[in-house]
Amino acid sequence: MNAHVRLGLIGLISLTMPLAACAKQDSTSGSAAAIAPTIAQSSAPQIVTGLPDFTRLVEQVAPGVVNIDATIGGPDEDSAAGAQFDGSQGIDESQIPEIFRQIFGPGLQMPGMDGEGGRMRPRGKSMGSGFIISPDGYILTNNHVVDGSSTVQVKLSDGRSLKAKVVGTDQGYDVALLKIDARNLPSLRMGTANSLKPGQWVVALGSPFGLDHSVTAGVVSATGRTQAGMGGPNYVRFIQTDVAINPGNSGGPLLNTSGEVVGINSQIFSQSGGYMGISFAIPIDLAISAADQLKKTGKVSRAMLGVTMNPEISEAMASKLGLPDTNGVLVTSVQPGSGADKAGIKPMDVITEFNGEKVSDYSDLPSRVAPLPPGTKVSLTVIRDGKPRKVEVTLTALEQKAVGDAGGLQDETDSDGTPGASPAVPQRALGFSVQELPESQRQRLGLPEGGVVISSVSRALAAETGLAPGLVVLQVNRSEISSVADFNKAVAGIKKGDVLMLLVQSPRGVRQFVAVTVGGAG
């Protein structure tokens, strides 16, 4: 017998046996029977009255849902997608945004993306879904469904297959706007995701594995799911559902019980490439805003505060910063000339509220800021040295800047071939030592303000904090560091148990704060 079948039978037996035992007790035990009338006569209100019937909803909505086939690469090109997915391989991990790989590891999948469900796909094809948003032929889908495509075909519910023009795409929101040459098309009604609550019924339509106009239903599991982790954009507050979504569902609509679109089905969490109970949809409000911009300008503009953020606030950091808890966003740097800079925000400030709403962590803030138009004025609550204050900030336009590889910091020499760093300064009490940053490295890293480079770290401290040789220390508490002399001055007078807030920069240009407890892990 197949192992999965055996497990399934075992699970079924373990589930039904206790129920059978309860039934036997009711027929033989007077005490158990006496309890039953009390339960039946309870005056508690009936909360759930029955399962919903989605047939009328599907009849009305299905004509506005389309099947999308995108050819990846040119017609004569042996594309990378076609070469990789020969029917026996799984997802191409390089296609998944880094941000999601860090949260979910290899489990997060994008239904319809090249490689997922490769067994069901022709070579060099991307399969997905979409829906009509206006009678004159505008269609919404996911960016990853059409990304890199040379041709896109849209199959309508009436059987017609029409070539589509890609009006514009946006990777940050994973949205694409298509246009087909047709009129009087059945379009779907747009709803809003803002009023969704966990437990609400929702319905998905799409083409899983190419099986067009398939219907699945479930409930909203959670709202406001953000992309925690470092290394990528974090602009979407996803709707999490338990609606069954599979390869080919990407870009299809998520609907409420009124038949209104509340989201675009985009991603699933899976260890197998198939549905495992967790699906994510892009809120329709965000998607429509992006589509309007794509239609008008061909691109999506986002706002920014102009700060970079620490990945976490530890208990030690919260204590040092005078915070009541570890919630909020710790600012690591401020972009010159940005709204945050003009408002006086500084590194080591902690943002705890945005427009009157609590900010839980660093993954929460970008998704609140980015959808707003540049020029919007927002109110922040900022804690500095344990004291909260209100700050008004005018958001500026987000500037996408790739962080390049700045190279290693070890074994460097100046142009004359001599070592560029002065001898290491021992800091036994700290558990690490620093030395001067060579001029060649300073220039390569773009650090006019200077810094000192960590030359050695104790094993215990490295394990506890993540500090490593090669990291550049730019700030100790609120003191700027440009030399070893500055560093020595900043740590003078420290005693066991003190907490130092170090602002460090990696060779790749990523900055973050690290809390070091003096004598804690030396």
Active site residue 174: yes
What totals of helices (H) and strands (E) does the chain contain, helices first? 13, 27
Rounded to an integer, what distance in angstroms lies between the CA atom of residue 383 and that of residue 273?
Answer: 44
Q: Could you tell me which of 155, 162, 133, 130 has the C-alpha nearest to residue 144?
A: 130
Core vs surface per residue 31-61: b (16+ CB within 10 A) or e? eeeeeeeeeeeeeeeeeeeeeeebeebbeeb
Which listed residue (69, 147, 170, 174) is catalytic? 174
Q: Give the CA diameter of the chain.
A: 97
Query: What region does 229 belong to: left with phi over 0, alpha with psi -120 to 50, or beta?
Result: left
Q: How is residue 39 written in tokens?
A: 């339960």
Q: State the catalytic residue, choosing from 250, 270, 279, 363.
A: 250
174 a known binding residue?
yes
Q: Which stretches does DSSP call E strand in 242-295?
A: 253-255, 261-269, 278-283
Residue 216 in tokens: 């699945």
| Residues linked to residue 286 through DSSP beta bridges, in sequence order | none
Report the SS3 class of residue 107. Answer: helix
248 is in an annotated binding site: yes
250 is in an annotated binding site: yes
Residues whose CB is less than 8 angstroms from the CB of residue 372 and which lie 6 or more positions away in sequence, other chains included: 303, 378, 395
Strand ranges (DSSP E) for 92-251? 108-109, 125-132, 138-141, 149-155, 161-170, 175-180, 201-206, 214-225, 238-241
E strand or H helix at 390, and its extent? Answer: strand 387-394
Of 114, 129, 144, 170, catalytic: 144
**Rounded-to-10 torsion of CA 113, 115, 116, 121:** 90
DSSP class of residue 438?
Answer: P
DSSP state of 209: G
159 sits in the region (left: phi over 0; alpha: psi -120 to 50; else beta) called left
CB of 441 within 8 A of CB of 412?
Answer: yes
Q: Please, which residues bridge with residue 392 across strands?
A: 379
CA gap 407, 252 in Å, rounded: 43
- Residue 231, number of CB atoms within 10 A of its CB: 15
256 assigned to a ligand binding site: no
How far apart are the C-alpha atoms of 434 and 426, rounded to whole Å? Answer: 7
Token pair belonging to 2: 């197949």
- Is the Cβ–Cβ distance between 432 and 465 less than 8 Å? no
Angle at 423 between CA 420 and CA 426, to 5 degrees: 140
- Catalytic machinery residues: 144, 174, 250
Which residues are documented as binding site for substrate?
144, 174, 248-250
Which residues are documented as binding site?
144, 174, 248-250
